[in-house]
Structure 1
């Protein structure tokens, strides 16, 4: 017997069981899957996705950034990266998901999309599900999957948004951006059962403009749609972002004290406070479960 009152052999077995229990608990650790969307291009959506990933990593999280603009990806371009392979090589069977993974600033992991590959922009739902299954099978420690969606309401946008835990809609203070963001929310809610949306006004002059922009879209949505919209701050128009883009750097890394960086750091802290999905059984299981519920024709 020892000070714990346990036989040493029993205590060793207890430690082994405890370690195995911790290992299993970590293996089941749910991740937050966030689809970052916009009704139209040019609103800064990919910059939000890239800098959110870096800001989360700066706070100690382990994000995986999935460039889901499969035929016209540019996450790698924004960060000055030159991947040898991309997701088109996974779809073709030439490479595994692990082999196309690249590492960006602050050790964020990135799944790069193809650029200028037409067939990647028109993947069927089964192929999209296979990609998600491949991400779920990665032996990768991650807290977040950030999905940088293509702009608009194409099939891949709808598929990934339906299954994500959170849909973050980025918009700017332009009539077309507001109209198209509303159209995206309308299609996802009426046709695909997505009821909750986070809304992020981007490239605004100040917080008041951001609040007013959110109120404009929320007022219309409240009148015609059965949805819940939540504003999660706003991001100012800041020349520091343009300078960072020219340098192919994340602005939160290159100019951490700039107003745009502070807003993005606040966004990352807000995201950290979002609850996990109630039905998250671990890794990507809940994501695939929801995808299969929406698309019973998928086989995995």
Structure 2
């Protein structure tokens, strides 16, 4: 296993997609306390909906041991992040072009050593994106479930964090645990909550209210309700077809909901400058007029 400094100094060649974009990239991390709540489906469909709205988007899979973004989109990667860490390729060589021009950086599945990376290797991966020569507006980061160091680092390095919950006691409890650690240990002060697999719209708001009551009592963090994705047979069919539901069945209730979520996310303010800690695309933030490291 090579060090992050030696493995993540890659710049894309002149033949990579487009010229280098110097505008700041809005990075959205998608996370969950508990597995099985549909987090990766949210990441894939949010990224695809952003693409459809005209946002140049990259989807990064950081579920380093059990990755499945490429599977959900029917892609066949030649290289993954595991190959980058092993020295078999550079970061830009992992780029895959998906539907609608979505860029995907895949992780590996079934590689146990990728779940045992050191904290400085997670930071090294974050810094590597400052050298990635791809013109994008937004990056969606699909995290592993739970509160492992990598999850916390990748969420801290994003401008916005979406925590996905569903109507299960363990999902709400584990979401609170994730929010608590992000707030207390990593200084994340604002989190978007997305309810998934709900039977009706009121159920999503009830889930959010339940989570907000306990966080307001014990944590110094602001929760925002991003909305809800309905339980939808068309979404299940899209997953079986290895497609995003927003592409396969655009009129499905879940597809409509994902486009609404993407519209709201598209209205979030772009980063104005670096915040003084580990961040994706740091050089582009520093390059902004008037920006300074805190």
TM superposition shift of 1:134: 2.1
For residues 57-87 of structure 1, what are the alpha-carbon distances to aligned partners after superposition, in whole Å with 9 as ceiling and x for unaligned? 1111111111000111000111111112111
Secondary structure of the residue that 2:41 maps to in structure 1?
Answer: helix
Residue among 51, 54, 57 paired with 1:57: 51
Deviations 1:239-284 (A, max 9, x none): 0010001111110000000000000000111111000123259981
1:285 pairs with one of 267, 282, 286: 282
Q: CA RMSD in A?
A: 2.1
- If you compute each CA radius of gyration, which structure gives the higher value, 1 or 2? 1
The answer to whether the 8 Å contact 2:164/2:193 transfers is: yes
- Is 1:87–2:84 an aligned residue pair? no
Separation of aligned partners in 2, 1:264 and 1:104: 18
Aligned partner (choices 133, 141, 145) of residue 147 of structure 1: 141
Deviating 4+ runs (over 6 angstroms): 286-289
**TM-score, normalization by structure 1:** 0.85
Equivalent residues of 2:59, 2:105 under 8 A apart: yes
TM (norm. structure 2) is 0.87
Name which of 78, 94, 97 aligns with 1:100. 94
- Distance, in Å, in 2 between the alignment partners of 1:286 and 1:189 is 25
* Aligned residue in 1 for 2:29: 35
The whole-number CA distance in structure 1 between the counterparts of 2:169 and 2:221 is 21
8 Å contact from structure 2 (residues 64, 108) kept in 1: yes
CA distance in 2, matches of 1:185, 1:283: 20
Alpha-carbon offset, residue 286 of structure 1: 6.7
Aligned residues: 267
> Is the 8 Å Cα contact of residues 32 and 277 (structure 1) preserved in structure 2?
yes
User: Following TM superposition, by how much is the alpha carbon of 1:133 offset from its aligned partner in structure 2, in angstroms?
Assistant: 2.2
Shift of 1:27: 3.9
Q: Are 1:241 and 2:238 an aligned pair?
A: no
SS of 1:233's equivalent in the other structure is: strand
Which consecutive unaligned segments of at least 5 residues does structure 1 have? Answer: 1-23, 294-300
Cα distance in 1 for residues equivalent to 2:75 and 2:28: 23
- Please tell me whether the aligned partners of residues 31 and 276 of structure 1 are also in contact (alpha carbons under 8 angstroms): yes
Secondary structure of residue in 2 paired with 1:156: helix
Question: Conserved in 1, the CA contact under 8 Å of 2:192 and 2:226?
Answer: yes
**Residues 259-270 of structure 1 correspond to what in structure 2 (within 5 A)?**
259-270=253-264
Per-residue CA deviation, residues 156-204 of structure 1 (Å, 9 max, x unaligned), is 0111111211111000010000000001001111122111100000100
1:44 paired to 2:34? no
Higher helix share: 1
2:106 aligned to 101, 112, 118, which one?
112
1:1-300 pair list within 5 angstroms:
27-280=21-274, 284-285=281-282
More off after superposition, 130-139 vs 106-115: 130-139
> Structure 2: which 5+ residue stretches go unaligned?
1-18, 287-292
